[in-house]
Chain A
Amino acid sequence: MRVHVPIAICFLAGLFMLVQFFVPHHLGVVYYEELQAWTRIVIAFTMVLGISSLIRTHWEKIRRRRQDWGYSVVTLVSFIAMVTIGAARGSEKGSPFMWAFDSVFNPLDATMFSLLAFFMASAAYRTFRARTPEATVLLLTAVIVMLGRVPLGDMMVQHGAYGIWAGLLFLCIAWAAFPWCAARFGRGTAWALGVALMLVPVALLVVSAHLRGMPISGATEWIMNTPAVGAKRGILFGVALGSIATSLRIIFGIERSHLGGH
């Protein structure tokens, strides 16, 4: 009974939602609206579950004096203070609750997120190395997108700095290829090849005069619209097929982990 009734409810609700999506009959809309109201009520109860879980977890940590239990005290005190202030004085503009939200929560939350910029800068510096051809492609793409997303990238192109960046790139390629060429053809030939490669940026500087009309943001849009979309579509298809399979397993009672147990 404890298993079959929830499975039957799940089957009927799942089947109804599936059918009403494709059959826009008036009766379906009426029951659909009703079911949506039920869903919102059920979801509201999950807040109670979340609050009880928060209190239980942090209270246990404080009671057993686990590592960093002081942070749990701050969490619980802040939670109780905000709930009390909100319940007693409301949450309208100018209320103590909104003062705490604007003056304490807002800056703290923004600070946490802004720290990401520092870690991303440090991580990019340490990880974007041209160790392999794949890593080099990733590195170049990242550089183009980073510059293409800001006005400075376009300004560089408009001021003919394309050649300088290309020069830096070819300098890197020459230095990367030098040990391999030296081992295979001898140092003399490697130097000659290196110098020849160095001449490429000079040619690019000339060409860049004609490229001034093509901003780097255009290259960024192409990367976002073409290779990135291709990869993302593949992921989306995989996720969608997985979701359909899991949903059908739940509707037909094959997957029962949501009922508890195994």
Chain B
Amino acid sequence: MFERLQHIDRRYIFIAIALAVIVPFLTGLQLPNGAVSPPTKDLYDLIDKLPARTPIMIAFDYGPASMPELQPMAVALVRHAFKKNLRILTVCLNVQGVPLAEDTLAKVAPEFSKVEDVDYLNLGFKSGGASVITGMGVDIQHVYRTVNEKPTAPMPVMAGIRNYQQIGCIIDLASSSTVDAWIQFAVEQFHGKLAAGVTAVMAVDYYPFLQTGQLSGFMNGLKGAADYEVLLGKRDKGVLGMASQSIAHALIVLFVVLGNIGYLMSRKPR
């Protein structure tokens, strides 16, 4: 029996995980969110304290694969910024991020009656990665002269913005190492204020930068998104997804415990 605990057919594990993820979504199960992580609170406070009409920049550096974790962060951030009457500029170092940025803005802007080119602007994708970041550090309008064939200079949303010095906060939502480039150039070279939202699997890479103050705030995976939604008082897909993630994590722990019980019980004395 204990031998069998060590060799549960992986198909049963797959079925259990699938049910753990799907059932909470179908039933709309919500669990109490628990303690808000301090780095997420820091980011929330940073945005919350910015004066009205201050521009913030959100970088959509992810694709559809990371949407379940990062899109709830984006929606919550945009919602918070519009609620505080901040201006939003979005940029994409990942070409797949462009439609995700457009979707997010198109979804949230009508809730607050915000107008494109006045209250928000999706600057879009530019190839070049780090060189785009450094270029914007000198002059954003030099890198993005036009958007959708319209010059950016006369747009009300760009009024008074030259480089990162006028941006209240840059938030990089990333599924790859773009945060490193933002830290290297936007923070270190051009003294911008940076926060990040990343997938849970990447999170451990960025804790050192929180301690050094190079990141002013941080959202860690879906839990970060859920925490932000709780702080904002608008529960959405982040909180909804946490029920699935909770049950899936508990199941994985259960399987690990069962495997170890099987291993320890069937071990012969030396």
Contacts and interface: CB of A to CB of B under 8 A. Distances in A.
A125 B255 contact: yes
Contacts, number: 178
A14 interface: no
A149 interface: yes
Interface stretch (B13-21, B53-61, B75-83, B84-92): B13-21
Nearest to A175: B264
Overall SS of chain A's interface: helix
Interface of B: 8, 10, 13-14, 17-18, 21, 31-35, 37-38, 63-68, 96, 99, 102, 106, 126-129, 131-132, 134-135, 138-139, 142-143, 189, 200, 203-205, 207-208, 210-211, 220-221, 223, 242, 245-253, 255-261, 263-265, 267-270
B67 A106 contact: yes
Given A109-B64, A150-B245, A153-B34, A122 B14 contact: yes
Contacts of B63: 109
A33 B135 CA distance: 6
B265 to A, nearest CB: 6
A146 to B, nearest CB: 5
- Interface size bracket, A side: 35 or more
A152 B244 CA distance: 10
Overall SS of chain B's interface: helix
B239 to A, nearest CB: 9
A182 B96 CA distance: 61
A179 B268 contact: yes
A113 B68 CA distance: 10
19 contacts: A102-B99, A105-B64, A110-B64, A112-B65, A118-B13, A124-B255, A130-B264, A143-B256, A149-B221, A150-B246, A151-B32, A151-B34, A151-B246, A153-B249, A155-B31, A176-B264, A179-B267, A217-B35, A229-B211
A229 B261 contact: no
Nearest to B239: A151
A47 B129 CA distance: 13
A70 interface: no
B127 A43 contact: yes
Given A40-B128, A152-B247, A229 B138 contact: no
Contact of A125 (B189, B246, B252): B252
Interface in A205-246: 215, 217-218, 221, 224-225, 228-229, 232-233, 236
Contact of B270 (A40, A101, A117, A180): A180
Interface in A156-213: 168, 171-172, 175-176, 178-180, 182-183
B260 A183 contact: no
B250 to A, nearest CB: 5
Nearest to B255: A125
